[in-house]
Homo-oligomer: A and B are copies of this chain.
Amino acid sequence: MNEQEFLAGYDPRDYPAVAVTVDVVALTIREGALHLLLVRRGAPPFEGHWALPGGFVRPEEDLAAGARRELAEETGLGGERLRRLHLEQLASYGVPDRDPRMRVVSVAHLAFAPDLPDPAAGSDADEALWLPVSALASRQLAFDHARVIEDGLERARSKLEYTPLATRFLDAEFTVTELRGVYETVWGHPLHPGNFHRKVLSVPGFVESTGASTERGGTRGGPRAKLYRAGDARLLHPALLRPAREETVR
């Protein structure tokens, strides 16, 4: 039997039925707090519970494309803003009974976006909203999405260390203080302004000057800040390591 003959006699239905979904942990920063996109499920299972945006991957689409499509559908996002959004694969979740319907393997993705408009509810969702991650504990989430979100947040925190992706939470032009704000809200603690400034400018390719400054000083005073845009580095060398927390102590 050669390869052509084999494929001709092949029946996909002989294989165990598994469904593949894509889910998205979409993060943004609003009013100085880290927010997460959630949708309320409009159909069983977990009807009425909050869940990550996502759904079944379509036969002809790539995993990343499916994640981007689901995000677009459930946020009403499109065009330039959708294109600028950072999307990466996070991990896959496939515990056999994680979905009561059938065996479902979910390929979770992680997205970073600048402050986006309030979401428009899509076909599968009654509602959608940006929820501060600090308010997550009080929500009952569908499936194993609490775990997925935890993994996504930890991935986000660590990505800020060695990649320039913090800039993806900001508009094309930003100040060093705004960039520091991203680190502070994602990491959850304040950083030394002077040292952060020195470090950011010293890492090759992290940011590049636009030559311009902000139109006005800060809301509570202070000089106009210089504007920067993201540089061309894809990895930060040396990295911006977060200060060691208690874990280090032995």
* Chain A residues within CB distance 8 Å of chain B: 1-3, 6-7, 10, 12-13, 15-20, 43-45, 47, 56-63, 89, 91-92, 94-96, 100-103, 105, 107, 204-205, 232-233, 235, 237-239, 241, 244, 247-250
B18 adjacent to A20 (CB under 8 Å): yes
- A18 → B minimal CB distance (Å): 5
A44 and B204 form a contact (CB under 8 A): no
In the complex, how many angstroms separate the beta carbon of A147 from the nearest chain B beta carbon? 13
- Given the complex, which residues of B lie within 8 Å of A61, measured CB to CB? 96
* CB-nearest residue of chain B to A60: B96
Assess whether B204 is in contact with A45, with CB atoms less than 8 Å apart.
Answer: no
A94 near B63: Cβ-Cβ < 8 Å:
yes
6 inter-chain pairs at a CB distance below 8 angstroms, sorted by A residue, are A12-B19, A20-B94, A59-B96, A62-B96, A89-B91, A92-B107
Separation of A96 and B65 alpha carbons in the complex (Å):
11
- Chain B CB count within 10 A is highest, among A19, A92, A205, for A92
Q: Residues of B contacting A248 with CB < 8 Å?
A: 204, 237
Residue numbers in B under 8 Å from A47 (CB-CB): 3
CA distance A10 to B233 in the complex (A): 49
Docked pose: A232 CA to B249 CA in angstroms: 12
